[in-house]
């Protein structure tokens, strides 16, 4: 991709800051970054968590990998370069969401460590929660919710993460979830607890 660098642009400060928005929402913005193999359960947990947070009275929004590829990132494929650009855009959008005070979930395979580390840097360490959905490949392949593993094994899809493209596991994720051991609801509860501990949302008794 060619990069176009705009000149003659100046950052314009608004009159409402993040603290004002957080006071209004009674929560702090955060970006919960799910990473893991296809079929590991990222989207399922993200949507379960989104529902749980909204029911608890919080503004939450899940940015889903496939859904984003229908719109914002529809000009990107799955080459290493396009995967990196995919993640860079998501990180920038996630940063805007977190700045609005919304608890935001992203569910993208995001297989490369360097891309996720760049996302952490973009968003800021205190707002970034990397959740490694560490479901064994055999379980993901057995589930195969979109029939993609079957196609990858048959050679109909090239460069499929976990089959013929690498997945670089996180070294220091904020949380690890193995969905062959816990349900989406249990996973969602542990993430809510993590957010309370981090001071992003109040404990229920507060
Ligand atoms: P990903 O977003 O990581 O590609 P999905 O959430 O789309 O994964 O698919 C995971 C599949 O596994 C879904 O069909 C879901 O119903 C199933 N599944 C079974 N058990 C679990 C669990 N404990 N947590 C999450 N998903 C599960």
pLDDT in tens, 80-90: 899 899 999 99
Instruction: Give the residue with greater pLDDT, 17 vs 197.
Output: 197
pLDDT number for residue 141: 98
Cβ-count burial of 97 within 10 angstroms (0-12 exposed, 13-18 middle, 19+ buried)? buried
Question: Is residue 152, in this structure, part of any structural domain at all?
Answer: no
pLDDT at 121 over 90: yes
Residue 60 belongs to a domain: yes
- Is the C-beta atom of 40 inside 6 A of ligand 1? yes
Residue 13 falls within a domain, yes or no?
Answer: no
What is the CATH number for 96?
Answer: 3.40.50.300
In a domain, 39, yes or no: yes
14 in any annotated domain: no
Nearest to 201 by CA among 78, 51, 5, 22: 22
Residue 204 lies in a domain: no
Residue 68 belongs to some domain of the structure: yes
Q: Could you give the number of structural domains in the chain?
A: 1
- Quick: pLDDT tens for 137-177: 999 999 999 999 999 999 999 999 999 999 999 999 999 99
At 34-75, the pLDDT tens digits run 999 999 999 999 999 999 999 999 999 999 877 888 899 999
Ligand 1 atom with the shortest distance to the CA of 36: 3
Q: What is the pLDDT of residue 14?
A: 87
Q: Which listed residue (110, 180, 188, 205) is catalytic?
A: 110
Domain that holds residue 35: 19-136+167-197
């Amino acid at each position: 991709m060619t990069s176009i660098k705009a000149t003659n642009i100046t950052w314009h400060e608004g009159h409402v800051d993040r603290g004002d928005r957080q006071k209004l929402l009674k929560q702090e913005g955060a970006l919960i970054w799910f990473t893991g193999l296809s079929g590991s359960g990222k989207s399922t947990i993200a949507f379960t968590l989104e529902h749980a947070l909204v029911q608890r009275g919080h503004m939450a929004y899940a940015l889903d990998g496939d859904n984003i590829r229908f719109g914002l990132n529809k000009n990107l494929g799955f080459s290493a370069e396009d995967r990196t650009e995919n993640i860079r855009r998501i990180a920038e959008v996630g940063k805007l969401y977190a700045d609005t005070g919304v608890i935001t979930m992203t569910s993208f395979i995001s297989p490369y460590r360097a891309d996720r580390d760049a996302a952490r840097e973009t968003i800021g360490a205190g707002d970034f929660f990397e959740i490694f959905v560490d479901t064994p490949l055999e379980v993901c392949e057995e589930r195969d919710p979109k029939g993609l593993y079957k196609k990858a094994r048959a050679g109909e899809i090239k460069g499929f993460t976990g089959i013929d493209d690498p997945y670089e596991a996180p070294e220091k994720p904020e949380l690890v979830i193995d969905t062959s051991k816990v349900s989406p609801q249990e996973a969602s509860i542990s993430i809510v607890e993590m957010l309370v501990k981090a001071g992003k949302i109040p404990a229920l008794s507060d």
